[in-house]
Structure 1
């Protein structure tokens, strides 16, 4: 399936929403040469086409005491469909996992986990990660500093 085509006005709306997703259509009209009604119509169309898949607040992990991020490489005992499905369902239900990616190469999955500190990560490792179905090996690395974190690079909106 090919990606939906976006014209310059769609890209301008998306760029403005990436900068501040809480802007009203009236505020967006200051950045995009359309009326607020036309902007609302375009946003609705972008949502219906799946270009805009949702909205969320950016909450400071540090403000909640979640100062540790770990990248966990996971190797499974098997690659059979039932085990993969069971692993993915369990990973999606684990509250400390913020993302899980099936990989090519040496590891089967890469998981990102948030924790308060090393003791909290140890608890998460024991209570959640090691109990995931079919795990043969877990290798954890700890993020020292986040350099870049963005929902989507603005360059992806360029032609």
Structure 2
């Protein structure tokens, strides 16, 4: 179970995962050792799974982002999953219910690169692709209920 202080710490880390223990102590009203102990317990319980950095793929030449719905051909589910995992331009992928088995996010430098990557899947799956124009809601956590 988490409490109000845990929520303050989690919210502060969501805003900036590089905050120091001293900064987190100032925000929460605890001492630095107390903050360190709380973070350790949150990590042990799996509440905090990691600390990350956010980059802009465009800074590395990835000008296009696509959402790809993937429907494996009969008997090809595991092969399609392996291929998706092996293509580093796929930055996220969910296995879902419904007609499509996978919904994936892909970053590419050009339309030609998109075609080349999707061609690798086409012998094992049908794909349906949408180019992302804008992201009005960035990836975020759902509300935390305590």
Question: How far does residue 51 in structure 1 lie from its aligned partner after superposition?
Answer: 0.9
- Structure 1 gaps, min length 5: none
Partner residue in 2 for 1:125: 118
- Between the aligned partners of 1:25 and 1:119, the Cα distance in structure 2 is 46
Partner residue in 2 for 1:158: 145
Partner residue in 2 for 1:139: 128
Partner residue in 2 for 1:74: 70
- TM-score normalized by the length of structure 2: 0.90
- Between the aligned partners of 1:36 and 1:129, the Cα distance in structure 2 is 50
Partner residue in 2 for 1:105: 98
Q: 88-97 vs 53-62, which deviates more?
A: 88-97
Q: How many residues align?
A: 146
Question: How far does residue 44 in structure 1 lie from its aligned partner after superposition?
Answer: 0.9
Partner residue in 2 for 1:92: 85
- Superposition RMSD in Å: 1.7
Partner residue in 2 for 1:63: 59
- TM-score normalized by the length of structure 1: 0.83
Question: How far does residue 87 in structure 1 lie from its aligned partner after superposition?
Answer: 3.0
- Between the aligned partners of 1:31 and 1:158, the Cα distance in structure 2 is 20
Q: 87-96 vs 55-64, which deviates more?
A: 87-96
Partner residue in 1 for 2:2: 6
Q: Is the 8 A contact 1:11 1:158 kept in 2?
A: no
Q: Is the 8 A contact 2:25 2:31 kept in 1?
A: yes
Partner residue in 2 for 1:149: 138
Any idea what SS the aligned residue of 2:65 has? Answer: strand
